[in-house]
Structure 1
Amino acid sequence: MVSPMPSLHALLGNTDAFFAELANGLADHGLPATLGPMDHLCYRAASNDEYISLKDGLSAHGQVLVEGMIGGRPIITYALHRPLASPFGPVPCLELAAPKAGKRHSTGLEHGEIVVPSLTALLETYPQVPFEQKGLPDELTLSLPPLQVKFHRRSLADTIAHEITNGLVVPVPSGYFQRQTHKG
């Protein structure tokens, strides 16, 4: 007998509560949920074993767009078969991040990313919002501890397509997870 596939809520937790917390955090800063579409959310795994387990479970819910090394750890992105409903509109993609070696990470939904026409216009329209600007010119971040909302001009799916076309994806090294698991 085949066991039923776990739902996205069983794998990720309560995405409705996550989206509501992000929307409320934006509202607390005077930002509407209608700034632009949320193109993806990110789940951070606390361990490589959790990453591998979630990667296997999530494969039933979406098509892999890419898996590669970003910021020193593997990240895989899925185009979901059924976008998640949210106050930001349908969210079509999910990013799963493995932990960075040597750092402790909380497991769970971490951030959502919204595509806006202009980061400069966002800063000028909402000067009172404490955006982290260290990612400029590509990204703005609003911390809503323990969560974040990030703002970009290009969707993650478009960025991935560009990186694949231009050979910019750094593959996960063969044996990466075996080496990480056996480190002291």
Structure 2
Amino acid sequence: MVATMATLEDVLGNTGHFLRELEQGMLDHGLPLVLGPMDHLCYRALDNAEYLALRTALTQFGDVLVEGMIGNRPIITFKLFQPLASPFGPIPCVELAAPKAGKQHFHGLEHGEIVVPNLQQLLNEYSRVPFNRTALHGPAPELTLALSPYQIKFHCHSLADTIAREIACHQVNAVPDDYFS
């Protein structure tokens, strides 16, 4: 019997369906797919056990850029050995988020992030799009387009660039050694 290698889709679920849903959501809102590159997908784990299993499984598809505490839970980002093909161009990274304690959230592939040159320009050019602007003036400015149950987030900097800057500035909050105990 020949052992078969797992694919990224085996690990994360139906990435093709997820990306088609994001594509259709963009088109339904009159947004072109060429606003900027989609730099990563985010998968939200059901529980800590799934997070740990997926963290291990994803090491066969990419190198860890960073794992740290964000929003009081671990998040790890992988730079894929082979970028994921998509309608948005090649996607170089996958983010895996542990669940937030005491909070209900969508489980599975949850969002994709697109890097755009200017968030205000995006708002001006697509004023009829119902972007969530809550984080527009936060420390990591973003716009979010809800495509229930998914989301597309828009940023001005790629996740890999943000991670590199945070590492260089010693801004990564390490996951406590006993977090998963």
Provide the residue aligned with 2:153 in structure 1. 150
Unaligned runs of 5+ in 1: 179-184
Tell me the percent identity. 62
Provide the residue aligned with 1:130 in structure 2. 130
Q: CA RMSD in A?
A: 1.4
Distance in 1 separating the partners of 2:116 and 2:177: 37
Provide the residue aligned with 1:97 in structure 2. 97
Provide the residue aligned with 1:84 in structure 2. 84
Provide the residue aligned with 1:43 in structure 2. 43
Distance in 1 separating the partners of 2:131 and 2:102: 28
String of CA shifts for 1:34-91, please: whole Å, max 9, x gaps.
1000000000001000000000000110000000000110000000000000000000
Q: Is the 8 A contact 2:106 2:149 kept in 1?
A: no
User: Following TM superposition, where does structure 1 have runs of at least 4 consecutive aligned residues deviating by more than 3 angstroms?
Assistant: 1-5
CA shift for structure 1 position 5 = 4.1
Distance in 2 separating the partners of 1:116 and 1:11: 29
The answer as to 2:163 corresponding to 1:160 is yes
Distance in 2 separating the partners of 1:33 and 1:23: 7
TM-score (norm 2): 0.95
The 5-angstrom pairing of residues 1-184 of structure 1 reads 4-137=4-137, 138-178=141-181
Q: 1:71 to 1:128 in 2, by over 3 A?
A: same
TM-score (norm 1): 0.94
Distance in 1 separating the partners of 2:117 and 2:74: 29
**Aligned residue pairs: how many?**
178
Distance in 2 separating the partners of 1:166 and 1:5: 38
Unaligned runs of 5+ in 2: none
String of CA shifts for 1:138-164, please: whole Å, max 9, x gaps.
100000000000000000000000000
Distance in 2 separating the partners of 1:32 and 1:155: 19
Instruction: Give secondary structure in 1 for the equivalent of 2:23.
Output: helix
Instruction: Give secondary structure in 2 for the equivalent of 1:171.
Output: coil
Provide the residue aligned with 1:182 in structure 2. none
Distance in 2 separating the partners of 1:23 and 1:104: 26
